[in-house]
Amino acid sequence: MSFSFDQILAGLEIAIAVMIIVILYHGLFIAVDLRRILRRVDSVTKQVESMIMKPISVADSVLSWLLDYIEEDKKKKGKKK
């Protein structure tokens, strides 16, 4: 049983087509998994950002209160003189 060159070439083309279909199928699942991973990373990033911003906002409000207090104190001392 001898195969001709055309038959071997056709068999290889079919095998390559099946391999490409399998690769695309796996690529689809990889893309979906990457989307899920990126969503989780985004949510974790938002949580970390909120954890970092809370102390910064508290420090900012304390600093602004302190500056307002100092300015009022200077105004009161300026009026007394």
pLDDT tens digit string along 55-77? 888 888 999 999 999 988 888 87
Amino acid at 20: I
Q: What is the pLDDT of residue 78?
A: 74
Token pair, residue 20, equals: 């490409």
pLDDT less than 70: residues of the chain: 80-81
Provide the 3-class DSSP secondary structure of residue 2: coil
Q: What is the pLDDT of residue 3?
A: 87
**Alpha-carbon span 25 to 51, nearest angstrom:** 40
